[in-house]
C-alpha cells in the first residue's frame, strides 16, 4: 500500500521548455529527504499544458532517476477515456508503480459514467490505479458508493481525496475497508485525515519542505502523535500560503527562493503576484525554511 508523504512534483520550466537538470535535482532532493513516493505529471506538474511527448518523457525520466528507490505514481488522467488509457499504458511500459487518474473534468459524467470510465482503464491496463477526486477543479464528485463499486475491480487500489470533507475518510473505510489506500489531496487537513484513518498525503507542500513532511508521517506511523501534530502546526502557515493563488504558482515561487528552479509557469497561469510572494516568504520564514535569492536560478 502507498503511504506517507507523496510529493506531487512540479515540472520546472526554463524559457518555456522543461528544465531537465532541475527536474533531476528535485527528484534526488525528494528521495534524500525521505519522501515516500513521487507523482510526476499531476496537476501540480501542470499536466494540462504538457504535450503528450513531454508528459511521457517526464514519467520515463522520473522512473529512470528513481530506480525503484521510492514508488512512482504517474499522473495519467484525462477527460477522454481513450487518452487516459493511452497515458496509463505508457506509464506501465515506462515502469511506473501506479497511475493517478483524475475524474473527467468538463464532461460532467454521471456516477455511472464515472464507473464506466475507470472500469475501462482498469480493464485495459494492469497497473494499480488511484482515483483522484477533486471536485473543486473537475466540477464532479465521485460518491463513496461509486468508489466502493470500483474498489471491487482488480486494479483500483485507492483514492486521492481533495474534497476537503474529512467525514469521507471514515465513510470510505466503512464502505471499502482498511486495504483501500486513502491519500489526502489537501495539505492543511493532513493531521486530521490521518486521525480519521487515512494513509498519507499527495502533497504540494512537500515540494518545498520534503523532510518536514516526511518526518510528520514517520512520527505518526511510530505513534508519536504529539510530534506529528507539532510538525503539522509548524507547516500549517506554509500549507495555506502555497494555495494563496492558483497552484503551482506559489509553490514554484517558493522553490525559486530555495534556488531549485525558476518560478516559470505556463499560460494560462502566470507567476505568483507580489502579494503571493510576500505571503510565501513569510510562511517559509515562520516554518524555518532558509531561502536564497530567486536570481540564483534565473
**In this predicted model, what pLDDT tens digit does every residue of 145-197 receive, in sequence order?**
999 999 999 999 999 999 999 999 999 999 999 999 999 999 999 999 999 99
Q: Is residue 295 part of a domain?
A: no
**Catalytically annotated residue among 92, 118, 160, 191:** 160
For the chain, the domain total comes to: 1
The residues that bridge with 160 in the sheet, in sequence order, are: 132, 183
Q: Is residue 177 part of a domain?
A: yes
CATH code of 8's domain: 3.20.20.70
Q: Establish whether 132 is a catalytic residue.
A: yes
- Residue range 196-213: mean pLDDT, rounded: 98
Is this model's pTM higher than 0.75 or not?
yes
Q: Is residue 261 part of a domain?
A: no
Q: pLDDT confidence of 85, banded at 50, 70, 90?
A: very high
Q: Is residue 82 part of a domain?
A: yes
Mean pLDDT value across the chain? 96
Q: Is residue 65 part of a domain?
A: yes
Q: What is the DSSP letter of 72?
A: B
Q: Is residue 276 part of a domain?
A: no
The rounded distance, in Å, linking the Cα atoms of 108 and 114 is 9
- Residue range 101-128: mean pLDDT, rounded: 97
pLDDT, residue 294, reads 36
pLDDT, residue 137, reads 86
Q: Is residue 242 part of a domain?
A: no
Q: Establish whether 160 is a catalytic residue.
A: yes
Vertex 37 angle, CA 35 and 41, to 5°: 115
- Residue range 235-241: mean pLDDT, rounded: 98
Cell of 36: 515516500
Q: pLDDT confidence of 214, banded at 50, 70, 90?
A: very high
**Catalytically annotated residue among 3, 115, 118, 132:** 132
Q: For residue 51, which of 24, 22, 25, 13 has the smallest C-alpha distance?
A: 13
Q: Which domain holds residue 139?
A: 4-235
Report yes or no: 41 and 59 within 8 Å, Cβ to Cβ.
yes
SS3 state of residue 59: helix
Please report where in the chains the cell 524559457 appears, as a residue.
Answer: 15
The C-alpha R_g of the chain, in whole angstroms, comes to 18
Q: pLDDT confidence of 73, banded at 50, 70, 90?
A: very high
Q: Is residue 175 part of a domain?
A: yes
Phi, psi of 289 (to 5 degrees): -100, 115
Please report where in the chains the cell 501542470 appears, as a residue.
Answer: 46
Amino acid at each position: 500500500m502507498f503511504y506517507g508523504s507523496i510529493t506531487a512534483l512540479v515540472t520546472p520550466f526554463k524559457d518555456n521548455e522543461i528544465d531537465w537538470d532541475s527536474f533531476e535535482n528535485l527528484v534526488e532532493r525528494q528521495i534524500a529527504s525521505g519522501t515516500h513516493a513521487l507523482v510526476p505529471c499531476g496537476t501540480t506538474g501542470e499536466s494540462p499544458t504538457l504535450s503528450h511527448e513531454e508528459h511521457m518523457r517526464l514519467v520515463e525520466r522520473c522512473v529512470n532517476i528513481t530506480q525503484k528507490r521510492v514508488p512512482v505514481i504517474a499522473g495519467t488522467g484525462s477527460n477522454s477515456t481513450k487518452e487516459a488509457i493511452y497515458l496509463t499504458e505508457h506509464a506501465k511500459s515506462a515502469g511506473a508503480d501506479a497511475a493517478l487518474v483524475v475524474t473527467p473534468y468538463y464532461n460532467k459524467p454521471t456516477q455511472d459514467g464515472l464507473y464506466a470510465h475507470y472500469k475501462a482503464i482498469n480493464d485495459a491496463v494492469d497497473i494499480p490505479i488511484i482515483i483522484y477526486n477533486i471536485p473543486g477543479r473537475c466540477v464532479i464528485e465521485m460518491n463513496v458508493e461509486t468508489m466502493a463499486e470500483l474498489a471491487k475491480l482488480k486494479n483500483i487500489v485507492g483514492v486521492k481525496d481533495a474534497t476537503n470533507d474529512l467525514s469521507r475518510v471514515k465513510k470510505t473505510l466503512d464502505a471499502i475497508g482498511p486495504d483501500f489506500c486513502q491519500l489526502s489531496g489537501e495539505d492543511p487537513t493532513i493531521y486530521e485525515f490521518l486521525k480519521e484513518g487515512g494513509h498519507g498525503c499527495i502533497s504540494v507542500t512537500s515540494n518545498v519542505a520534503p523532510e518536514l513532511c516526511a518526518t510528520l508521517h514517520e512520527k505518526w506511523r511510530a505513534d508519536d502523535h504529539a510530534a506529528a501534530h507539532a510538525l503539522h502546526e509548524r507547516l500549517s502557515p506554509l500549507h495555506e500560503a502555497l494555495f494563496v493563488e492558483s497552484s503551482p504558482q506559489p509553490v514554484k515561487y517558493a522553490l525559486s527562493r530555495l534556488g531549485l528552479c525558476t518560478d516559470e509557469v505556463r499560460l494560462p497561469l502566470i507567476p505568483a503576484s507580489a502579494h503571493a510572494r510576500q505571503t510565501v516568504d513569510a510562511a517559509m520564514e515562520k516554518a524555518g525554511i532558509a531561502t536564497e535569492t530567486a536570481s540564483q536560478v534565473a
